[in-house]
Amino acid sequence: MVDELYPGASELEGRAIREIVALAMDAPAQAKSGHSGTAMALAPLGVLLFSRILRHDPTDVRWSDRDRFILSCGHASILQYGLAHAFGYDVTANDLRAFRQAHSRTPGHPEAGVTDTVEVTTGPLGQGLANGVGMAIAERILRSDFGADLVDHRTWVVAGDGCLEEGISHEAASLAGALALDRLTVFYDDNHITIDGPTELATRDNTAQRFAAYGWQVLDLGEKANELDTLEAACRSAMADAARPTLIIIRSHIAFPSPEMMDRREAHGSIFSGEVIARAKEILGQPVEAFHLDPLLPGQMTAHLDAQRTSRLAWEQRLRESGSKGVRLLEQLAHNGAAQVDERAPQFDAGAEVATRKALQRAMDVYAPQTSGLTAGSADLTDNTGVVLKGSLAQSAANPGARQIYYGVREFAMGAVMVGQALHGGLRPVGSTFFVFSDYARPAIRLATISRAGVLFVFTHDSVGVGEDGPTHQPVEHLMSLRAMPHLHVVRPSDANETLDLVEQYLSDPQPPTTALILSRQDVPVLSGSDREASRGGARRGGYVVREDPEAVFSLVATGTEVAPCLQAHDELSARGIRTRVVAIPCWRCFDAQDQQYQDDVLRRSLASVSLEAGATLGWAKYVDAALGIDDFGLSAPGPYVFEHFNINSDAVVQHVIRELGATN
């Protein structure tokens, strides 16, 4: 018998679709918050994927060779939760009833690590698509390293109009086409509706031509969003194309089959009335009661996936038979290929003048061969930022195992693609650009931090040291802006050797925090003697005393390149008979995580104190009494002149200390 609403669906699939469509109305209605329409329209696609296409097994949620499913249009999260429940994952009826409630496992948008089947944190539109590009890159590299017998899966992304209107979709899709990521398939839910109204209000793009120009296979299914056999055939066509990624366009009708809400903008985010829900459920053949969930369905669906389970068991057998190769794969997946350091980077000579960005390149030269999961790349600034992997070819279809990724002038996509690599497992991505362009990458940095992706963002050419390029390229407010982001480790090393230490720390950490490493364009003196020993012992704790003096009357506090002028000020003040101490805080968040006694010993807040940093002074009050910095945009001039112009020098510190001590005498 042909299913009139969902042609091609089996009896079991039809039950699942109807239950999920009803749930997509019930859960937002009870929460008085949520998005029903898109989830209703995409339920047939979701069931088709989980039933017939995806390589997955609800009895082993974290099977490493599972297909990755990403709901880029994360506002339709109830769809993913409904699918997880219907197919036997650990999402209970109570979890569904707790949709969008405090501390539930069914939050408003999918969050990595919270709910079964959720691979990445989505919601801000378009980033899920870019995450999918990263996951496809990760699969390709690991398959090249370990063979298709152990790594052989695909990435499937569901995206909506909003995802494709956001600029990141252009960046990510263009990169995916250039890399010919044939194991990536994106579904474009072309429902013609946005919050404001019809999509034609703001966009008249030809999406099919756009993606074809990127180098994708494009399959436009037209009015087939509910026809499971047609959807399956398109998926099989995507899987058969071994030369490029695939975009499958489906013309869905938001809120189908509700007569009152279908194809209306209100269906996107408005809560349906009881009458509207009852009428839609009547059409579906579903009981009118809220959250009517068939208790037999999850078990039946799990049993239905016997072929996928057999595939997993066969994979486990191959893994056992692979010996050391399989052991290495599991180890790399467990800690994203952390560095196993047998050789340390040679130190820079004490007293030399070395830009910290140059130290990064030395770290890459030494530690990259010792870091099995490392990928490195840049938004078109590879040489300038020190992320060249010597001997590595460019990542491409011709070189599938290559770890050097050329992201092009695409800072935002680079960040989101790196998040996808990290959350896939097995890779430890490093990506770089000039610090001022962290503004372009910021939404990806934020989601990396929320999802604890452990990505290393390298930002060089910090502050006004950029010089002649002027205020458009001189990051002044960026340090404080990123420090305000919860859980992000913003690290500004004091010198080249400290940079080596901190890069080694990140690469060898089994579970590194998401980190922004801020490095200089200009040369900075290499610490020597006891200063170097203090750095070696304290930098990894986020803050340390560079020079201590029990009789000090003032603390001079700095980060990065400003540690050197504070040391110079210390010497100049000492010559005047004024005793000071110097403190470096390369990572505020790391320092704040230390025990209170350590923090007190480092800061000694009973003394008068001043900070020096070539950036905004906002935030320094938690550590010092006064802050010297730059609370204005920069200046187009040689770097040394700009530093002097803004009084980022030892003399400014000396004069401040003298004034303050004079005022207290």
Active site residues: 411
CB burial readout 481-496, b (16+ within 10 A) else e? bbbebeebbbbbbbbb
DSSP character for 477? S
Contact between 625 and 610 (Cβ < 8 Å): yes
The answer for residues whose C-beta is within 8 angstroms of residue 323's C-beta and 6 or more apart is none
Q: At what angle do helices 37-48 and 77-86 cross, to 10 degrees?
A: 40
Considering just the CA atoms, what is the radius of gyration of the chain in Å? 28
CA angle 482-486-491, nearest 5°? 45
Q: At what angle do helices 306-321 and 324-335 cross, to 10 degrees?
A: 110
Contact between 181 and 245 (Cβ < 8 Å): yes
The answer for residues whose C-beta is within 8 angstroms of residue 597's C-beta and 6 or more apart is none
Q: How far is CA 563 from CA 111, 567, 568, in A?
A: 39, 6, 9
Q: What are phi and psi of 493, to 5 degrees?
A: -65, 150
Cα–Cα distance, 201 to 343 (Å, whole number):
60
Cis, peptide link before residue 28, omega less than 30° from 0? no
**Nearest of 252, 268, 199, 250 to residue 36 by alpha carbon:** 268
Both tokens of 199, joined, read 């999509």
Both tokens of 167, joined, read 């600029």
Contact between 141 and 399 (Cβ < 8 Å): no
Cα–Cα distance, 418 to 611 (Å, whole number):
34
Helices (H), 484-547: 496-508, 529-538
Residue 624, SS3 per DSSP: coil
Cα–Cα distance, 343 to 331 (Å, whole number):
20
Burial class (CB in 10 A: 0-12, 13-18, 19+), 89: buried
- Chain centre distance of CA 7: 38
197: left (phi over 0), alpha (psi -120 to 50) or beta: left
Cα–Cα distance, 360 to 458 (Å, whole number):
9
Cα–Cα distance, 627 to 652 (Å, whole number):
11
The answer for residues whose C-beta is within 8 angstroms of residue 387's C-beta and 6 or more apart is 360, 361, 364, 376, 377, 378, 430, 431, 432, 458
Amino acid identity at 204: R
H or E stretch at 156: strand 155-160
Cα–Cα distance, 570 to 270 (Å, whole number):
63
Please name the residue that has the structure tokens 């180890």.
Answer: 331
Cα–Cα distance, 446 to 452 (Å, whole number):
10
Amino acid identity at 148: A
